[in-house]
Structure 1
Amino acid sequence: MSDWSEGYVNGIDYTYDYYRELSPLAAKLALLNAGIACDSGATGVSCELGFGFGASTNIHAAASASQWWGTDFNPAQAGFARELGRASGANVHLFDQSFAEFCNRSDLPDFDFIGLHGIWSWVSDENRRLIVDFVRRRLRVGGVMYISYNTQPGWSQIVPMRQLMTEHAEVMSAPGNAIASRIESAIEFVDALVDASPGYAAINPAAAGRIKKLKEQNRNYLAHEYFNRDWQPMLFSEFARWFEPAKVSFACSALYSDHFDTFNLLPAQIEILRRIPDVRFQQSVRDFVINRQFRKDYWVKGPRHFEAPERKIALRAHRVVLVSEPDSIVLRAGGSLVEQDLPEAVYRPLIELLADRQIRSLGEIEAGLQARGISFAPMLEAVMVLVGKGDVASAQEEDAMERALPTTTRLNQYLIESSTGASRVRNLASPVTGGGLHVQPFHLQMLLARLKGRHRPEQWAEFLLENLVANGAGIAKREGGVMSEQESLAALTDEAHSFATNQLPGLRALKVVD
């Protein structure tokens, strides 16, 4: 492992995933619901530390009127991210510097929003101190920090096994073996060890299930999640002490389902937490109740708390839009407890109102549902739950949309044209939501066919089949085997017509494609 990696896994790519929590606009609704004023939005100055391949940074830069800065120490990842930035022409400044180099640059602006996804758990204490000092110096008063990290007690049973895997990768693999090979061997070893009924597994029964699940997960993700030299799940109270010098305060969870106790807690648990006035201790106890493994939170420097009437005014002005096909929305949701059915009497009228995909403020939605006897509180909860499920998203103001349209158009064209490559970004940018939307790989290739002048679904299916044949690939049958070319064309044609009827109108309404 080379010195520049500072103990962080290299030699195997991280994922190209997109994280909507890194959007300042996504933070705004969560903060308003928590009763906290939020000035950072689509037109601020933002930063992501440890951006990976830069999907989130570039989508948010292209899809909003904001300026984005960031760094990722891995030059291959930073190079790809900068490629996306050049394609969009967005106001984005990306570097392949260490935190020590980047955080001490003299040309950095102050930021309205600073985001870190996962990276806190995988870096050394020295880098953590650099991050805290960076937030202290560069986050503006009233600014928002998004951070996610591995937390206790959810990792408690697997920590010894994780250490055993990393030790196996270091001492049991042949010199020069690639990290992917070392990971595979380590997983096979601990799986065999658990099957041999060690005493550890007997008193930690959940560990066996976790090991079995590892075998099914993406190896690129596992490399970065489990095999870094520095890896530390942290109690909430310990994390909060780290950030005391930065003068930021916990505001709310970035997981929208966390805002509603009925999805996460039993009545007796709610009562215990209600009796705890200290926010830090309450969050620590909540993590034990839920057995939380991963936190996603928003913190604010100098939060301004609304009075109840002021909060309602701000919420009523907030705008949202439907992003899923109305008929595809499943009225079930869950948090740490089992999934629950969502009340049809509230959710169906809300979805019907939003089905035309017009942007509406929460005040307009409230007015539209009054005749159905739905008041503000259940309407707000339903909107928040649907946002958390990915069926609804916050919407930008018109001027921000207009400014973002050229950059999203260029970025989306680049991503669509790259869609035949392996392991690439599978999200496109929307100037309406200021964020990204997941698009299935086959649908990306149908959009590519449209770009190439093939306008009918039958032509899209032919285009996909040509690519499959050229790559020696095929479509698997449910009963086993591979479809013939004739069967494949029929299946692809059906899928193309479904895409034209269901998904494409939504993508056009959200200005993802024309």
Structure 2
Amino acid sequence: MPSCRRAVVPSAVPRSAFLGGGVITDTGYVTDIDYPDYFHSQMSPLLLSSLCRLAGFDAVRPEPGFTYLELGAGAGMTTAVLAAANPEGRFVGTDFNPRHIAAGTQMIRAAGLTNASFLECGFADLAEGKVALPAFDYVALSGVYSWVDAEQREHVLTILDRHVKPGGVVYINYNAMPGWAVSAPLQRLILEYSEALDGGVLHRLSATREWVDRLVHADGRFFSSHEAALRPRLDSFGQWADGYVAHEFINRGWQALFHTDVARAVAGAGLEFAGSVSPVRPLRRTPEQRKLFEGITDRALREVVADFLDDTQFREDVYVRQPRRLSPRERGEWCDEVGLCLTERRGAMHLHTVSSRLLNPLLDALEQRPMTFTEIAQVPAFSGLSMAAVVAFGERLTAEGWTSPYLRSAQANSAEPAWRLNRVLAERAQTAAPQSAHYALASPVISSGVPLNFIQAQVYLALTGDDPGLGADTVERVLARLHDCDIQVEISGNAVKRSSEVTRAEAVDILHAIRDSRVPVWRRLRVLAGE
């Protein structure tokens, strides 16, 4: 593994062209605004291995000593959370933005994580072998594959060919066609207009938002003809965090991709498509839609047909390198090891989306402890179901965010690294702008993380600090933050109001509701220090 926490090579960051005061690299990639802090639970090594192995592929397992590479790691939150939740693995995050690398390095140092490192380097440097890296069991890219130009994507393919082990797993999240067919012209318009302006990215972004709003209200035919399809994209452009919007809308290399193009490209690196992180789509098919797949044996073509049926805008593809097929016995052995852990409180679940005949008995069992799929199959309500049906039901719950994969052998892992990082993340989250970051708490039970918002962070810090009773000091801090943030919040009785209007009594109710709903989950996941 790299011996340094932060490696800088002379050609790590491509030379830049200064367009209107904003730094855009010669690859067309924006660098003068940082990408927001996000945790992506879909990139969990356990989730990726479980998806592949349950689908019958002999993919790597997250066994002690496994290696994990995140390409385009941003400020490093996902790499850090996964490293803390998997202390037996070794993690490397790369990015060519030096501010991202500095932030990620500071995070892992503050938490004392010794199994993670960050490297400042571009894809070209890795592809050309200028940075010494080992072979990896897992490689993950979130978003960046469709944000860089064709040359950079070729570098990514070279990296995968050179550094993914046989049986290794690759996760690629990207903007997809045909879901972006209507919005792609909007992205191009935003790019062209913003590049014609003077000033830095934040100034140009603000001016472009105002201009696009005027354009929409000028009753342009393109907008009126596609209003329903464009509305979600216009809302995200106007309201989402600046760092995300800049990367999504004003990268010149940006391109929405068809699944077939991605699958054929990575096939050159010996990678075979194993499945999608979200398995919910087939469950929503009508009988007429299911018939459309009859006679289509090409897996890539089946995925594209599904994308047209679903108007897919973002794909989360998982690939395995040079895999062999697992025997029925081997698949059964994996079901003896892997299963589900409940990661949400029962009252928050929408029971109408799945069979309550199966769900309620399973929740009763999972509230007691995590269970392997073999153990779940022995719950009386599941009697008579095939193991494939049991697994499919569990994958549905995970896709809904109610459960997370659980590996029995990982339960002996130390929780200390997770507790140290969780303190660091909670301290950051309590002061973060609500829409600028998606924080998480690391859990050694699920080898991943669970979401954490800025109010929950206050509760976490109080419970693990000197105010377990959520006293006056904590209430005043939360009330001050709510008044600073002009957002909508839910108070008792499911009423919604502006946070600037929340009273002290309502702030107390909010804190107690979080304590009552999240603390049992946190204890189940061992994210609270000392428990």
Matches within 5 A, 1:288-303: 288-303=308-323
Cα 1:450–1:430 change in 2 (3 A) is: same
* Match of residue 355 from structure 1: 367
Quick check: 210-219 or 134-143, which moved more? 210-219
Q: Secondary structure at the match of 1:426?
A: strand
SS at 2:423's partner residue? helix
**CA separation of 1:362/1:75 partners in 2, compared to 1, >3 Å: closer, same or farther?**
same
Counterpart residue type for residue 355 of structure 1: E
Aligned-pair CA distance for 1:429: 0.3
Q: Secondary structure at the match of 1:147?
A: strand
The superposition leaves residues 249-283 of structure 1 with CA deviations (integer Å, 9 ceiling, x where unpaired) of 1110111324xx122x2222212213201112222
Q: 1:70 maps to what in 2? A: 93
Q: 1:469 to 1:318 in 2, by over 3 A?
A: closer
- C-alpha contact (below 8 Å) 2:337/2:408 kept by paired residues: no
Seen in structure 2, the aligned counterparts of structure 1 residues 91 and 159 have a Cα distance that, compared at 3 Å, is: same
Q: 1:142 aligns with which of 157, 163, 167?
A: 167
> Pick from 396, 399, 406: which aligns with 1:388?
399
Is the aligned partner of 1:195 residue 2:210? no
Map Cα deviations across residues 337-374 of structure 1 (whole Å, 9 max, x no partner).
xxxx3211111111111112x12111111112357666
Correspondence 1:421 to 2:431: yes
Of 104, 110, 120, the match for 2:145: 120
Counterparts of 1:371 and 1:202 in 2: how far apart (Å)?
50
Q: Give 2:3's aligned residue.
A: none
SS where residue 56 of structure 2 aligns?
Answer: coil
Alpha-carbon distance in 2 for matches of 1:307, 1:185: 59
2:275 aligns to what SS in structure 1? strand
Give SS of 1:418's match. Answer: helix
Separation of aligned partners in 1, 2:498 and 2:55:
51
Instruction: Give the drift of 1:47.
Output: 0.2
Asked whether the 8 Å contact 2:49–2:169 carries over to 1, the reply is no
Query: How far has the Cα of 1:117 moved from its partner?
Result: 0.5
Per-residue CA deviations over 1:28-77 (Å, capped at 9, x if unaligned) read 22223322222232531010000111111111111102101121111111
Q: What's the secondary structure of 2:429's corresponding residue? A: coil
Structure 1 residues 330 and 410, CA gap change in structure 2 (3 angstroms): same
CA shift digits 1:400-436 (9 cap, x unpaired): 4444422112111212233332245521100111111
Residues in 2 aligned to 1:440 and 1:330: alpha-carbon distance in whole angstroms:
21
Q: Is the 8 A contact 1:236 1:280 kept in 2?
A: yes
Q: Which structure 1 residue ranges, 5 or more long, are not aligned? A: 333-340
**Higher strand content, 1 or 2:** 2
Per-residue deviation at 1:384?
1.0
Residue 51 of structure 2 corresponds to residue 25 of structure 1: no
Query: 2:167 matched to 1:155?
Result: no
Partner of 2:67: 45
Q: 1:337 corresponds to which residue?
A: none
Aligned to 1:286: 306
- Match runs of 1:33-112 below 5 Å: 33-41=54-62, 43=64, 44-64=66-86, 65-88=88-111, 89-103=113-127, 104-105=129-130, 107-112=132-137
1:1-33: CA deviation from partner (whole Å, max 9, x where unpaired)? 446573211222212111112111011222233
Corresponding residue for residue 501 of structure 1: 516
CA contact (8 A) 1:323 1:390 kept: yes
Per the TM alignment, residue 313 of structure 1 is displaced from its structure 2 partner at its CA by: 4.0
Judge which range, 300-309 or 151-160, deviates more: 300-309
Q: Which residue type is aligned with residue 172 of structure 2?
A: I
CA distance in 2, matches of 1:95, 1:390: 32
Q: Percent identity?
A: 27
SS in 1 for 2:407: coil
Q: Corresponding residue for 1:365?
A: 376
Secondary structure, in 3 states, of the residue corresponding to 2:326?
coil
> 1:228: how far off?
0.6
TM-aligned CA distance change 1:160 to 1:422, over 3 Å:
same
Per-residue CA deviations over 1:52-106 (Å, capped at 9, x if unaligned) read 1111111111110210112111111111111122123231121121112234245
Q: Normalising to structure 1: TM-score of the pair? A: 0.89
For residue 380 of structure 1, what is the amino acid of its counterpart?
V
1:75–1:96 CA contact under 8 A, matched in 2? yes
Q: CA RMSD in A?
A: 2.6
Residues 206-215 or 147-156, more deviating? 206-215
The 3 A distance-change label for structure 1 pair 56 and 126 is same
Distance in 2 (alpha carbons) for counterparts of 1:153 and 1:379: 32
Contact kept, 8 Å, 1:62 with 1:404, in 2: the verdict is no
Structure 2 equivalent of residue 13 of structure 1:
34
For normalisation by structure 2, the TM-score amounts to 0.86
Secondary structure at the aligned position of 1:153 is classed as: coil
Match of 2:7 in 1: none
Decide which of 222, 227, 246 is 2:250's aligned counterpart: 227
Write the distance in 1 (CA, Å) between the matches of 2:477 and 2:454. Answer: 15
SS in 1 for 2:240: coil
TM superposition shift of 1:218: 2.9
Structure 2 vs 1, CA of residues 159 and 304 (structure 1 numbering), >3 Å: closer, same or farther? same
> Which residue of structure 2 lines up, in the alignment, with residue 270 of structure 1?
290
Q: State the AA in 2 paired with 1:222.
A: V
Q: Quick one: distance in 2 between partners of 1:211 and 1:307?
A: 45
Residue 348 of structure 1 aligns to which amino acid in structure 2?
Answer: N
Distance 1:496 1:105, change over 3 A: same
Deviation at 1:386, TM superposition (A): 0.9
Whole-angstrom CA distance in 2 between matches of 1:204 and 1:508: 47
CA distance in 2 between counterparts of 1:112 and 1:413 reads 29
Question: Which residue is equivalent to 2:14?
Answer: none
CA distance in 1, matches of 2:230, 2:427: 43
1:202 is displaced (CA, Å) by 5.4
Q: How does 1:386-465 map to 2 (within 5 A)?
A: 386-398=397-409, 400-423=410-433, 426-457=439-470, 459=471, 461-465=472-476
Check whether the contact 1:71–1:102 (CA below 8 A) recurs between aligned residues: no
Say whether the 8 Å CA contact 1:99–1:130 is kept in structure 2: yes
Instruction: Return the offset for 1:482.
Output: 4.7
> What SS does the aligned partner of 2:293 have?
helix
Q: Which amino acid aligns with 1:111?
A: F
Q: Is the 8 A contact 2:478 2:507 kept in 1?
A: no
For residues 98 and 377 of structure 1, the distance between their equivalents in structure 2, rounded to whole angstroms, comes to 42
The separation in 2 between residues aligned to 1:225 and 1:293, in whole angstroms, is 13
